[in-house]
Amino acid sequence: MQIDFNTATADFINGDFKWYIDEYFKNYITTKQAYNLLRLEGIACYVVKNDEIEDYVLIDSKQTVLAAYPYNLGGADQMQARINIIKISKHYDDYEKTNI
């Protein structure tokens, strides 16, 4: 679902950049998915916009950028794939800790 930048309120502003939480990815990150992909904590996906840029940006709780893709359909697919990779990695790490 596209954000209407004319009516949406930015979650925070950093210099010239306005950060909007992406509701689709917020739900995707925080819910358990098919194939036992875990829910994640401590990361969030924002749409970051200024006059020249509109990007999806995935950050952790320390505001470290984990991934950034253009805010378009292709970028959404890439962001979903990146989140799945993180979920699979976490699932694998959790499995290894309990089954070694």
| Domain of 18, in residue numbers | 12-98
Whether 21 is in a domain gets the answer: yes
Tens of pLDDT, residue by residue over 40-50, are 999 999 999 99
Can you give the pTM of this predicted structure?
0.86
In a domain, 84, yes or no: yes
73 close to 88: Cβ distance less than 8 angstroms? no
Q: Is residue 78 part of a domain?
A: yes
Q: How far apart are CA 5 and CA 19, in angstroms?
A: 11
Task: Let me know: does 39 contact 31? Beta carbons within 8 Å.
Answer: yes
- State the Cα–Cα distance between residues 51 and 43, nearest whole angstrom: 26
Residue 38 domain-assigned (yes or no): yes
Alpha helices, H only, 1-100: 23-30, 73-98
pLDDT tens-place string over residues 42-76: 999 999 999 989 999 999 999 999 999 999 999 99
Tally of domains within the chain: 1
Q: Is residue 5 part of a domain?
A: no
Nearest-angstrom CA–CA distance, 71 and 61: 22
Q: Is residue 80 part of a domain?
A: yes
Confirm whether 1 is domain-assigned. no
